């Protein structure tokens, strides 16, 4: 999906502000109402924004006004826009429910002097996930957005995906991005080369110190780490099974 300047303005505004009407967006972005109207329709089609509610105008009770806000995917697209990062504190306070273990723990990360690490890892996680969403249709977005269609996948495995070669039938493997970004921030899904390991381990010690002292973070980290261990055990068993079959064939 290609974003126009008006699309970007809307996403950036809704990233910092929980909700807005078309008239509010027209005023705050200084864009023409007709352009706002077109962008709203497009962003709704692509599940970047959603209709939160309809209310009566304070000036004329007979007039209904639509109020819009970001979806989770809209937030992730907004996080790819540089202006969003200029007031990340406002974004975090506005969208706690979308990233509860990141934005919901923002003050905790600040108090423990790890916010810079968290922000850098959040950037890496968003960029890693983005190629999978860059060239899809409204129908595909609708499918991804459906709770029934979400399946767990290691987002780091998507780093090497060629956007041009990404096919419709692969949309079914897209992850719950809330989980993927949380894993990225907490260091559960990171893979580094030897030259980066020392610095990463120092960072991870700081993150683990924060995780250990917070019940929500500790519980999530323990469950996800245990899931990785089980997943790796299953992979090892499959590899061993493959070797045994090969030995049997050679014998």
Question: Does one domain contain both 155 and 226?
Answer: yes
- Measured at the alpha carbon of residue 219, what is the angle toward residues 237 and 15, in degrees to the nearest 5? 105
Question: Does one domain contain both 59 and 176?
Answer: no
Question: Rounded distance, CA 220 to CA 181, Å?
Answer: 13
- pLDDT per position as a tens digit, 168-192: 333 333 346 778 888 889 988 654 4
Question: Does one domain contain both 133 and 60?
Answer: no
- pLDDT per position as a tens digit, 101-160: 999 999 999 999 999 999 988 888 877 766 554 444 555 445 444 433 333 333 333 333
Tell me the range of 1-10, 136-145, 178-187, 194-203 where mean pLDDT is highest: 1-10
Question: Rounded distance, CA 42 to CA 4, Å?
Answer: 10
Q: Looking at residue 173, what is its pLDDT?
A: 34
**What is the rounded average pLDDT of the residues 212-223?**
93
18: confidence class by pLDDT, cuts 50, 70, 90: very high
Q: What percent of the chain has pLDDT over 70?
A: 75
Q: Looking at residue 179, what is its pLDDT?
A: 80
Question: Does one domain contain both 46 and 149?
Answer: no
Find the domain containing 218 and state its range: 99-241
């Amino acid at each position: 999906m290609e974003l126009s300047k008006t699309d970007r303005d809307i996403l950036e505004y809704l990233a910092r502000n929980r909700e807005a009407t078309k008239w509010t967006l027209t005023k705050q972005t200084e864009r023409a109402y007709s352009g706002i109207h077109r962008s709203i329709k497009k962003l709704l089609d692509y599940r970047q924004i959603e209709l939160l509610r309809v209310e009566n105008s304070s000036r004329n009770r007979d007039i209904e006004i639509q109020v819009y806000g970001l979806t989770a995917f809209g937030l992730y697209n907004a996080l790819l826009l540089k202006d969003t990062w200029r007031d990340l504190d406002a974004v975090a306070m506005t969208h706690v429910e979308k990233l509860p273990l990141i934005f919901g723990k923002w003050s905790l990360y600040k108090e423990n002097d790890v916010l810079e690490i968290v922000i850098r890892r959040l950037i890496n996680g968003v960029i890693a996930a983005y190629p999978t969403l860059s060239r899809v249709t409204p129908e595909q977005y609708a499918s991804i957005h459906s709770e029934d269609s979400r399946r767990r996948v290691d987002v780091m495995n998507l780093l090497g995906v060629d956007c041009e070669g990404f096919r419709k039938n692969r949309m079914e493997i897209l992850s719950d991005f809330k989980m993927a970004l949380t894993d990225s921030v907490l260091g559960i899904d990171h893979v580094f080369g030897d030259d980066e390991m020392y610095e990463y381990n120092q960072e991870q010690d700081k993150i683990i110190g924060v995780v250990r002292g917070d019940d929500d973070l500790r519980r999530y980290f323990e469950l996800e780490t245990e899931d990785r261990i089980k997943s790796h055990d299953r992979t090892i068993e499959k590899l061993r099974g493959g070797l045994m079959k090969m030995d049997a064939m050679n014998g």
